Amino acid sequence: MSRTSGERDGRPPEPSEDAPDDALPGALSVNDIELRLLMEAIFLRYSYDFRDYTGASQKRRVHYALGQMELPSVSALQERVLRDPAMFARLLQYLTVPVSEMFRDPGYFLALRQQVVPHLHTYASVTVWVAGCSTGEEVYSLAILLREEGLLERSRIYATDINPESLAQARQGIFPLEAVRKYTANYQRSGGKRAFSDYYTAAYDAARFDPTLCADVIFADHSLATDSVFAQTQLVSCRNVLIYFNRALQDRALGLFHESLSHRGFLGLGSKESIDFSSWAGRFDTLARSERLFRKKS
Amino acid sequence: MTATGSPQAPLTARMRAIELVAIGASAGGVDALLTLLADLPVHWRLPVVIVLHLPEGHESRLPALFAERSRVKVHEAHDKLPIEPRTLYFAPAGYHLSVERERCFSLSCEPPVLFSRPSIDVLMISAADVYGAALAGLLLTGANEDGAEGLRQIGRAGGLTAAQDPDTALSPTMPRAALALRRPDVVRPLAGLREFLIEMDNAHAQ
C-alpha cells in the first residue's frame, strides 16, 4: 500500500500501481480479506465488534488510519493492534466517526417539541436514551430542548457510546466556538425559545456549555453490537449511527430500542435512515416520516 | 463512434460489461445533468447514480426535478437501498454516498472530502471497488477537483471513464483535473456523452 499525496487532503489511499488487486470478479480482494481478519482479531482480543459494520466506510477509515500511523498494510496494523492495547485505543478513534453537530436537522427537534413533548409531559419521570452519542452534541441539544419544555428536571438521559474518548469529551461539554455559530442557526430553526448564548460561556475559541444541563445525564460505555438493554425508556434518539451498520446489526440495534421503549415509546433516527427494510418495520408506527420519528406499536 | 472494426471497437466490447453508471458534477451541474439524462429512452436499463455537490442542510430537489423529465424511476439514494435497473439515484445532501459489496448504497457522515459531502471521489472509489470493469464513470462541469481521483480509480479497476470536454464545460476545473490525472476513455461535449451513454445501454441490453 503506498500512501499518495492525495491522502493529505483527506482522500482515501489506494493500492499502489505495482501491486494490482487481481482478485476474480465477485471474489474478496486481498484488501477485503485483511479487513475482515482485522475486525475478527479486534473482536477476539478486545471484544469490540466491528464485524457487521458497512464495508466501504470502514475500509476508508482503516486506510486513513494506516496513513496516519505510517503502516504499510492492514495486516501490519493487525499485528500491532493484537499485541499493543494502546495501538487499539488509537485505532478506535479512527474506526468510530465522531462527527456530529448540535441541532443537526432542525426539523427533527421541532417535531420532537411539537409531537413528542406533549406525550412526555404525561409521565411523572422521563427516561431518554441517546444511543451512539459520540462527543455529546445531540445530548446537549436534547437537554436544552427538555429544559425549555419544562421536562429536564424530571428527566434522566442515558448517553452511550463505544468510544471512551468521545464519552470523556461529551462529559466536558466544550465545543469549538466556530462550530457553535452553525449550531446557533440550527437551534433557531429547531424552535429554540431563547438566545443560544444563554447556554454556554465562551472563552478563547471554545464554548463551555452549562454543566447543569447534564446534571441528570449518565454517560456510559455501551455497544449496540454486543450489549443488552439496561433501562426502560420513553424516547430513544439514535441518529446517523445505524448507517454504519449492515442490515443484521441494524436489526439487532432496533430490537434493543424496541425492548427498551415503554408502551408507545418514541424512536428518532437520522434523516436518511429507515426501518422499512428491517424486521422491526411492522412494530413501529410512523409519527413524522421525513423527520424519522417513530412510535412503538401497542 | 459506433462502427465495429473502428479503433473504438474495444470500447464497444467494454461497454457490454457495464452494469452501473456513476456520474459526478458540481458548478453548472443541474443543467448539464438535464442535457445528459432528461428523457432517456423508454427501454433504458442501466442503474445510474449521481453525486451533485449541494449546500448542506438543503434537501435535494433533483429527484423531483428528474422524475418530471424522465420515464425511468428516480430515487434519492437512501441507506442500504438495493441498486436496481432502470433507476436514477441521487446522493442526498450532507452525507457521503458509497456502494457496498452487496450492491446496495450506504451513507456516512465522515468529514467532507475536498470540502464536499457528498464527495464524487467517495462514490466512485467505493463503486469501482465493487463493480470493477462493470462500472462506467462520467465527470462533468465543476469548479473543484473532486471526482478526478475517483475517475482515475475507475479506470485503474478496468471500468470505462468519460469526462465532459473542458472547453465545453461551464466550469472546466473538474474535467480538466480528471484529464491531468489519467486520460479518460472518452472526452466529449454533453451531447456526445449522452450518445455514449445510450450506446452503452444498448450494448448492455444485448
Beta strands in chain A (DSSP E): 126-131, 155-161, 174-176, 200-203, 206-209, 217-221, 233-238, 261-269, 284-288, 293-296
Residue-level pLDDT at B70: 86
Quick check: B80 and A10 CB within 8 A? Answer: no
Separation in Å, CA A274 to CA A163, A256, A268, A292, B162? 24, 16, 10, 8, 34
Confidence of residue A252 (pLDDT cuts 50, 70, 90): very high
Quick check: A272 and B78 CB within 8 A? Answer: yes
Provide, as residue numbers in chain B, all residues whose Cβ is less than 8 Å from the Cβ of A6.
149
Instruction: Inform me whether the C-beta atom of residue A55 falls under 8 Å from chain B C-beta atoms.
Output: yes
Cβ count within 10 A of residue A37: 13
Give the separation between CA A91 and CA A144, rounded to whole angstroms: 33
Q: Show which of residues 87-126 on chain B sit within 8 Å of chain A, judged by CB atoms.
A: 92, 95-96, 98-102, 106-114, 121-122, 125-126
Quick check: B121 and A273 CB within 8 A? Answer: no
Task: Give ipTM to 2 decimals.
Answer: 0.88
C-alpha cell at B13: 466490447
Q: Check pLDDT > 50 for residue A183.
A: yes
Mean pLDDT of B162-188: 97
Q: Tens of pLDDT along A184-202?
A: 999 999 999 999 999 999 9
Closest chain B C-alpha to A125 CA, distance in angstroms: 33
Provide, as residue numbers in chain A, all residues whose Cβ is less than 8 Å from the Cβ of B110.
57, 60-61, 97, 99
Instruction: Please state which CATH class domain A106-296 belongs to.
Output: alpha beta
Average pLDDT, chain A: 91
Percentage of residues in chain A having pLDDT higher than 70: 91
For strand A174-176 and strand A206-209, is the pairing parallel, antiparallel, or unpaired? antiparallel
For chain A, give every domain's residue range.
Answer: 5-95, 106-296
Q: Tens of pLDDT along B56-85?
A: 666 678 888 888 888 899 999 999 999 999
Provide, as residue numbers in chain A, all residues whose Cβ is less than 8 Å from the Cβ of B113.
9-11
For chain B, give every domain's residue range.
Answer: 9-205
Residue-level pLDDT at A10: 44
Residue B166's Cβ-count burial label (10 Å; 0-12, 13-18, 19+) is middle
What is the set of active-site residues of B? 26, 53, 146
B192 compared with B64, residue with greater pLDDT: B192
The shortest CB-CB distance from A56 to any of B106, B133, B153 is to: B106
| Lowest pLDDT segment from A8-17, A20-29, A173-182, A218-227 | A8-17
Quick check: B133 and A25 CB within 8 A? Answer: yes
Quick check: B125 and A14 CB within 8 A? Answer: yes
* H or E segment to which residue B164 belongs: strand B160-164
Instruction: Please state which CATH class domain B9-205 belongs to.
Output: alpha beta
Residue-level pLDDT at A6: 36
> How is residue B88 annotated by DSSP?
E
Quick check: B98 and A273 CB within 8 A? Answer: no
Give the separation between CA B32 and CA B25, rounded to whole angstroms: 8
Q: Show which of residues 142-161 on chain B sit within 8 Å of chain A, judged by CB atoms.
A: 149, 153, 156
Mean pLDDT of A210-215: 96
